[in-house]
Amino acid sequence: MPDTILVCDDEELIRWSLCEYLQQEGFETVEAANGKECVDKVRTQAPTLVLMDLKMPVMDGLTALRTLRESDNDLPVVMITAHGGVESAIEATRLGAADYIAKPFDLREVLLIVRRAISSYALRREVHYLRDRDRGGYGQIVGSSPTMQRVFETLRRLESIDAPTVLIQGESGSGKEVVARTIHGRGPRKGGPFMEVDCTSLPEQLMESELFGHERGSFTDARTTKRGLLEVAKGGVVFLDEIGELPLGMQSKLLRVLENRKFRRVGGVADIPMDTAVITATNRNLREEVRAGRFREDLFFRLHVVPIEVPPLRERREDIPLLARTFIDRLNKSFGRQIQGTSGKAMELLQKYRWPGNVRELRNVIERTVILMQGDLIQAEDLPPELRFSDAPLPTAAGCPFVLPEDGVDLEAVEKGLLIQALQRTSGNQSAAARLLGITRYALRYRMEKFVLATGPG
C-alpha cells in the first residue's frame, strides 16, 4: 500500500504541483488549505507524512505543528518556508519537524527529503516495536505468546488510524480495559480525554444523560445543564464497558449517534457534532446475543468495525511467568519487599491452574501470596489451596478421541449428549456414568442439574 502525503498550503497552485509530482512518484496525496484543516485531516486520513507551509490563514504552520505535538502525535512533518522564514523553520525543527524546504524549491529535492523523513520515521517505529517485543509486551500489556502477538499487531495498526469504533471481546478479568487504555494512549487521540462508563451500572434514563448530557429542566432532577461524556471527551475516547448489558432502547439511540456522528442532549433541540472515538468491551458473545434478540444486529455490525479478541489466560499459559514477574516487581515496590521470584514447583502450579478469573485472578493470587509469605522466594506451599490441590491437567489435544468439526460445535449440546449417553449406558447408575466420563459423581450431579436431567439415587 503506497504511503500517503498530506500537502498543506494555502496556494492552490503549489498544492497541485506537489500532489501531481508525488503521485507520479508512487505516493497517494491528500490536500489541506490551512493548518486547522491539516490537523483535522491528520486525525481522519492517517497520512504517512505532512508537507506544510509555514504562512497560512486560519491557522499557520507552526501553530498546527504545535497542536499535533501537544497531542503526542509523532507523525513526520516537513515545513515549507520562504527564504525569509528560515528562523521560523528552525523553530519548527525545534518543535519536532523532521526537516524544512525553502521556496522556491526543486521538486527532486522535495522527493529526497520526503523519502528520507519517511525512512527515518519507519526506523524509529521499528526500534519501538523491537523494544516492546524484547521486554515481552506492548505498552502496559504483558505477553509474548502467539495469541497476544496477534493482538499487538492490531494495536500497532491502530496507532496511526483514527478508528471511530473498536470492539474488545474477552472473558472477565482478561484485560479488556487495559487494552482500551492502550489504544487511547498509543493512538491518534492520545492527547484527548479517556472517559469510561460501565453499562451495567446505570438505568437507561441515567445512561442516556451520562452519554449525551441533558438540558436544565428536561426531567425532575435536571436542575442545571449537563454535558455528556460524548461532549466532554471531544478529541478523545469514550470507553463503554460491558456493552452487551446496554438496554435495547439505548442501543437504538447509540446506533443513531454512531451513524450520524452527532447527538442531542436530553431535552435539547440542537445537534452537537461528535468528535469522539468509541471503544466498547464485552464478556458476552454478541453474535449469540443478537440471535437471542437481546442485542441489535445493526449496532453489532457498527461496533464490529475493528474487533479485538483478548484471549483467556488458560490459552496463553506461556505468558504466566512474565506476568507473575511483572506483578512481583510492582508489589515489591508497593510493599517494600524483596521477593526474588517463584520456585520451579510454584511456577508449575501457576501454569497448571485453569485461571477462571484470568489475569485479574493471577494478579490477586500473587498479591495475596506476597503479603502473607515469609521468605524471599514464592514456594508451592505459599500459594492458595485451590492452586496447590488442583489436579487439572494442562490442556492438550493429544489422545483426544474427538475431532472438532471445521464449522465448530455447540459445546453445551455435546456435553449434554455425552451425559445422556453415559446415563443410558449405565441404566442411570450415576457412579458408573461418572467413571465413564472421567469425573466425580458430584460433578456428574451438578451437570445433571444444569441440564435439568432427573437426579435420583446414585
Query: What is the CATH number for 320?
Result: 1.10.8.60
158-216 pLDDT per residue, tens: 988 888 899 999 999 999 999 999 999 888 888 788 999 999 888 887 888 889 988 88
Q: Of 425, 424, 419, which Cα lies nearest the Cα of 441?
A: 419
The pLDDT value given to residue 129: 53
Same domain, 243 and 270: yes
Distance from chain centroid for Cα 242 = 14
396 belongs to a structural domain: no
Report the run of H or E that residue 261 belongs to, with start and end: none
The pLDDT value given to residue 89: 64
Strands 262-263 and 272-273: antiparallel
100: domain CATH number is 3.40.50.2300
Q: How many domains does the chain have?
A: 4
Same domain, 217 and 83: no
Backbone angles phi, psi at 148, to 5 degrees: -75, -30
Report the run of H or E that residue 272 belongs to, with start and end: strand 272-273
368-379 pLDDT per residue, tens: 999 989 889 999
Residue 171, classed as helix, strand or coil, is coil
Measure the CA–CA gap between 178 and 328, rounded to whole angstroms: 18
263 belongs to a structural domain: yes
Same domain, 107 and 94: yes
The pLDDT value given to residue 394: 46
405 belongs to a structural domain: no
Give the DSSP letter string of 312-341.
Answer: PGGG-GGGHHHHHHHHHHHHHHHHT-----
The pLDDT value given to residue 71: 63
Same domain, 274 and 152: yes
Cell of 320: 504466566
Measure the CA–CA gap between 276 and 195, rounded to whole angstroms: 10
Cell of 3: 504511503
Q: Report the side by side order of strands in the sheet with 77-81.
A: 28-32, 4-8, 49-53, 77-81, 99-102
Same domain, 298 and 323: no
Domain that holds residue 302: 137-309
Give the residues of the chain that fall short of pLDDT 50. 392, 394-395, 457
Cell of 143: 505477553
